[in-house]
Chain A
Amino acid sequence: EPEVTQTPSHQVTQMGQEVILRCVPISNHLYFYWYRQILGQKVEFLVSFYNNEISEKSEIFDDQFSVERPDGSNFTLKIRSTKLEDSAMYFCASSVSQGRRSPLHFGNGTRLTVT
């Protein structure tokens, strides 16, 4: 079964550094997402992306965040200047469409630790 893959599985960085989290969505999917989950808490929406532009974003997704689809397969999340509170699991997801009966399929996440 096709799956969403994310790399790296764990990223440790120092406060103020830039990180790029990478994702390869399922190949025939058109909508891409980033979510995050702080330890022990619920999964929170960050951003959705379609047709090479952001379609929706949350309040969490401020100017330090950006997304890009640099080629036909990768989807990246960049955090420009990391803060301690950015430590979380970051999940990439994709879906065929945004219509009903189009569930999001998630990767296994990147654990980001900011020290």
Chain B
Amino acid sequence: GESVGLHLPTLSVQEGDNSIINCAYSNSASDYFIWYKQESGKGPQFIIDIRSNMDKRQGQRVTVLLNKTVKHLSLQIAATQPGDSAVYFCAEREGGYSTLTFGKGTMLLVSP
């Protein structure tokens, strides 16, 4: 039969709520972080990024927070909409390298 993949952490919210998705990273040498959104059958889509010399960056309806002390990254989505339903991945990059390392992902489910 078909193999079963890893169960993703899931965050279920109501339309209009604010969502917070968390990510722990392990490489203290990482100096650049990105949040990606992946809808079913599509590739990862860039949402927002942040450099390690910042602790907060805002975009349209999204905010990324970086806490280097505890190696934690979060994505806040304001006024979540059904179209925000997707899997969200954080990714990190170590200075001097081009490789992005992805985290495990969180599934966001938004109900109307």
Contact = CB atoms under 8 A, between A and B. Distances in A.
A109 B4 contact: no
Size category, A interface: 20 to 34
A91 B100 contact: no
Interface residues of B, number: 31
Given A91-B43, A103-B49, A108-B41, A41 B5 contact: yes
A72 interface: no
B98 A44 contact: no
Interface in A84-115: 91, 93, 95, 98, 100-101, 103-109
B70 interface: no
Contacts of A103: 34, 46, 49
Given A105-B46, A106-B45, A109-B43, A45 B51 contact: no
Given A101-B51, A103-B34, A40 B43 contact: no
Nearest to B47: A103
Contacts of B95: 100
Interface string B78-112: 00000000000101010101111111110000000
29 contacts: A4-B43, A33-B98, A33-B100, A39-B3, A40-B5, A40-B6, A41-B6, A42-B102, A42-B105, A44-B102, A45-B100, A48-B98, A48-B99, A55-B98, A56-B97, A56-B99, A91-B43, A95-B98, A98-B97, A100-B31, A100-B51, A101-B32, A103-B34, A104-B46, A104-B100, A106-B45, A108-B42, A109-B42, A109-B43
Interface of B: 2-6, 8, 31-32, 34, 36, 41-46, 49, 51, 89, 91, 93, 95, 97-105
